Amino acid sequence: MISSARPSARRTAALLRAGVAALLLTATGCAGGAGDGSAAGDATSITALDYYTDASEHAQWGALLTACGKTAGVRVEHTSVPGASLVPTVLRQASSRTLPDLLMLDNPDLQQIAQTGALTPLDRYGIDSGGFAQGILSAGTYQGKVYGLAPNVSTVALFYNKDMLTEAGVTVPRTWDELKAAAAELTRPGRHGMAVDANATFEGAWQFLPFLWSNGGDERRLDTPQAAQALQLWVDLVKSGSMSKSVLNWTQADVHDQFAAGRTAMMINGPWRIPALNQDKNLRWGVAPVPVPRIGQTPVTPLGGEVWTVPQSASEARQEKAAQVLACLNDSAHMLTVAEQHFTVPSRSTVAARYAERVPSMAAFVRSVRAARARTSELGVRWPKAATGIYTAIQSALTGEQTPEEALEHAQRMATGS
């Protein structure tokens, strides 16, 4: 399961600023990790750091890094740390001059790290970034330069129980009005029609973004009619009983469990849930794009996924080798391998199209990725403040403490510090 598909809490900008001096020291100090390369010599090994701590996931990425290392003529020493520890670990390594040669980051973290000067732009190494959707490239871009590339990405879509929809005579909803009607028709004693993750974390904000963005809302200005209409939709679903009030506390894993147990007929979730759904042979399910305000619109969903970067170091030889490994990870064949292993979407559009034909359950995600946006595309390093405002507004509106308009006005003040 791809870790960043479950958006982890962003580390604070203050912590990152505290490490800036150390990071800059790294650029002029000795490069860390194994290997005897120098600025003028050859590198025989490089280090790589990520947050793929799940045993099978770590092994799969380790095998891929080893294969790409052989292609580049180096041994790759692969280390993983828990997701919440990655950025603090990077800062500690910077202060001790042991920054890895190849670094994976959750894509919303890239801008904050690139801002410190810790990363090198990939055009320095002639890495091919052609064929990537614009939203995917923007996730790895800071101030106009590409610092990271994601071999694979993810987003969210609408999962539905085929048997429940057939029994109720309900078609798969395409619009918000259809969603409300379908959810009401599908609601029964012991079962809700719809489920989302509306908890007070970045996951809750992540799940709300398709509704905000598809309605023309913008995280740069949260106190708009478009944003209020999107939040009102969620309020209406809860008030009508079509969605459980417990969504205020559910994680995406909880939403999945409700769906798998037959306690909800539809849910918003990501492709990382597909392996578990496939294990239940009695569960007949399908996937469709997230419903949009009006027929004919394309949903705008958030982009999940990890980018690989080349940190600054004193060893040009190791930087070059790390860049070669990064390029290998992002070639078409390896994109397809990773996608099939983890139910993610290959980042190159032509590869993604072939993948959708081979894995039909991923087709809705492939279509959605074409218009998906990076969470940092508008606000950059200021995104975490906006996300906090969004999930706080969701909590206030769904509990009835404030109207959507009042909750989002407060969210805007939180985001701007006013």
Residue that wins the pLDDT comparison between 23 and 84: 84
Closest CA to 157 of 355, 372, 8: 372
Q: Is the pLDDT of residue 32 over 60?
A: no
pLDDT in tens, 314-348: 899 999 999 999 999 999 999 999 999 899 999 99
Backbone angles phi, psi at 354, to 5 degrees: -65, -40
**Measured between alpha carbons, how far is 367 from 288 in angstroms, rounded to an integer?**
10
* Positive or negative torsion for Cα 345, 351, 353, 356: negative
**Average pLDDT over every residue of 238-263:** 97
- Quick check: 149 and 127 in contact, CB under 8 A? yes
Domains and CATH numbers, the chain: 3-153+305-369 (3.40.190.10), 157-301+379-416 (3.40.190.10)
Residue 234, Cβ neighbours under 10 Å: how many? Answer: 21
**Measured between alpha carbons, how far is 289 from 369 in angstroms, rounded to an integer?**
10
Q: Is the pLDDT of residue 101 over 90?
A: yes
**Measured between alpha carbons, how far is 192 from 258 in angstroms, rounded to an integer?**
9
Cα angle: 85, vertex 26, 22; to 5 degrees: 60
User: What's the pLDDT score for residue 186?
Assistant: 98
User: What's the pLDDT score for residue 128?
Assistant: 87
Confidence of residue 24 (pLDDT cuts 50, 70, 90): very low
Q: How many CA atoms lie within 13 A of 57 on its CB side?
A: 17
Backbone angles phi, psi at 130, to 5 degrees: -75, 150
User: Beta 285-288 vs 157-161: how paired, if at all?
Assistant: antiparallel
Closest CA to 87 of 55, 110, 58: 110
Confidence of residue 30 (pLDDT cuts 50, 70, 90): very low
Confidence of residue 92 (pLDDT cuts 50, 70, 90): confident
pLDDT in tens, 355-388: 999 999 999 999 999 999 999 988 888 999 999 9
- Quick check: 2 and 344 in contact, CB under 8 A? yes
Residue 360, Cβ neighbours under 10 Å: how many? Answer: 10
What is the share, in percent, of the chain residues with pLDDT greater than 90? 79
pLDDT in tens, 134-185: 899 999 999 999 999 999 999 999 999 999 999 999 999 999 999 999 999 9
What is the share, in percent, of the chain residues with pLDDT greater than 70? 89
Q: What is the DSSP string of 132-163?
A: B-HHHHHHTEETTEE-EE-SEEB--EEEEEHH
**Average pLDDT over every residue of 285-301:** 96
Confidence of residue 36 (pLDDT cuts 50, 70, 90): very low
User: What's the pLDDT score for residue 38?
Assistant: 42
User: What's the pLDDT score for residue 415?
Assistant: 87
Estimate to the nearest angstrom the gap between the alpha carbon of 287 and the chain centroid.
18
User: What's the pLDDT score for residue 385?
Assistant: 94
- Compute CA distances 58 → 48, 49, 104, 299, whole Å: 12, 11, 13, 33
- Quick check: 295 and 217 in contact, CB under 8 A? no
- Quick check: 80 and 52 in contact, CB under 8 A? yes
- In this prediction the pTM is 0.87
Q: Is the pLDDT of residue 22 over 50?
A: no
User: What's the pLDDT score for residue 417?
Assistant: 80
User: What's the pLDDT score for residue 105?
Assistant: 96
**Measured between alpha carbons, how far is 15 from 18 in angstroms, rounded to an integer?**
5
Structure tokens at 305: 């996924």
* Positive or negative torsion for Cα 105, 345, 342, 261: positive
**Measured between alpha carbons, how far is 379 from 387 in angstroms, rounded to an integer?**
10
**Measured between alpha carbons, how far is 295 from 173 in angstroms, rounded to an integer?**
10
Q: Which residues contact 14 (CB under 8 A, 6 or more apart)?
A: none
**Measured between alpha carbons, how far is 120 from 110 in angstroms, rounded to an integer?**
12
- Quick check: 79 and 58 in contact, CB under 8 A? no
**Average pLDDT over every residue of 109-133:** 90
Confidence of residue 28 (pLDDT cuts 50, 70, 90): very low
Helices (H) and strands (E) in the chain, counts: 18, 12
